[in-house]
Copies of this chain bind each other. A is one copy, B any other.
Amino acid sequence: MTGRKADDVVTAAFLVIGDEILSGRTKDKNIGFAADYLTSLGIDLKEVRIVPDEKAEIVSAVNALRARYTYVFTSGGIGPTHDDITAECIAEAFGVALNLDPRAVAIMEKHYPPGQFTPARQRMARIPEGADLIENKVSKAPGFRIGNVHVMAGVPSIMQAMMDAIAPTLATGRKMLSETVAADMPESRIADRLAAIQDAHPETLIGSYPRANEGKFTTEIVIRSRDEAILKAAARDVAQAVAELLG
């Protein structure tokens, strides 16, 4: 992945694995983090999926996403309990074996007191054949990377530490820059102007985001571009439109 040109677009999908998110019991905190993190690296997050702890669903989502995007990142399902089935699903998706990995065993044997590297904990040392380990500074049991798929824990503090471990290995594109213009009006008041500004600046993405606050509607307009001069010109036009409508 070296040699990628600075203006290449690097894309990613994020896959959350876990019944607990779909039942509402646990509120996901990883999607928002990953979105911010990847954007800051210059990687465009293009799709997110949340699937249950079911083998067929996980395998099918991994295979669909890894074929479409530069990178896939997953969170959840790599713990020691029977409901943690991500590693075997990834092995199946890639058609490789899942065995105790000597590197992972070595890390975890060192971490636990003698006799405490139990069979349940050994589950966490099963790594698909051909995968690289992802360091886990928080609780040692590693994640892993195979092909373009990065498999991480679901606990947010561990997932974030794993992202930090992965980041230096990722190819990154030219960063998407953004400017935000606040407009103290409902978005319908500025909609026609925004459509015209979008047409005039085709190399930007102009988004309009309404906010409802105690019955009052305001709007944030976000202009995005990989080119700073193009970004500034469009943002200037938006700010002027807002000023004219308020004046």
Chain A residues at the B interface, C-beta cutoff of 8 Å? 16, 18-28, 31-32, 35-39, 44-53, 57, 79-84, 118-121, 123-124, 138-139, 155, 157-158, 176, 178, 180, 187-192, 194-195, 198, 205-212, 217, 222, 224
- What is the chain B residue whose CB lies nearest that of A180? B25
Q: Is the CB of A188 within 8 A of B23?
A: no
Q: Is the CB of A209 within 8 A of B26?
A: yes
Give the dominant DSSP class at A's interface. mixed
Q: Which of B26, B49, B212 has a CB less than 8 Å from the CB of A138?
A: B212
Q: Which of B22, B79, B178 has a CB less than 8 Å from the CB of A210?
A: B79
Copies per assembly: 2
Chain B residue contacts of A51, Cβ below 8 A: 47
Q: Is the CB of A23 within 8 A of B53?
A: no
21 contacts between A and B (CB under 8 A): A20-B209, A21-B35, A22-B35, A23-B176, A24-B39, A27-B32, A47-B51, A47-B52, A47-B57, A49-B49, A49-B50, A79-B187, A80-B187, A82-B191, A82-B206, A83-B198, A118-B192, A119-B192, A124-B188, A138-B212, A157-B212
Chain B residue contacts of A22, Cβ below 8 A: 35, 44-48
Tell me, in angstroms, the Cα distance from A240 to B189 when the chains sit together. 62
Chain B residue contacts of A80, Cβ below 8 A: 187-188, 191
Given A28-B31, A120-B188, verify A207-B53 contact (CB < 8 Å): yes
Given A23-B35, A27-B32, A138-B212, verify A195-B82 contact (CB < 8 Å): yes
Q: Is the CB of A36 within 8 A of B24?
A: yes
Chain B residue contacts of A118, Cβ below 8 A: 188-189, 191-192
Q: Is the CB of B35 within 8 A of A210?
A: no
CB of A166 to closest CB in B, whole Å: 17
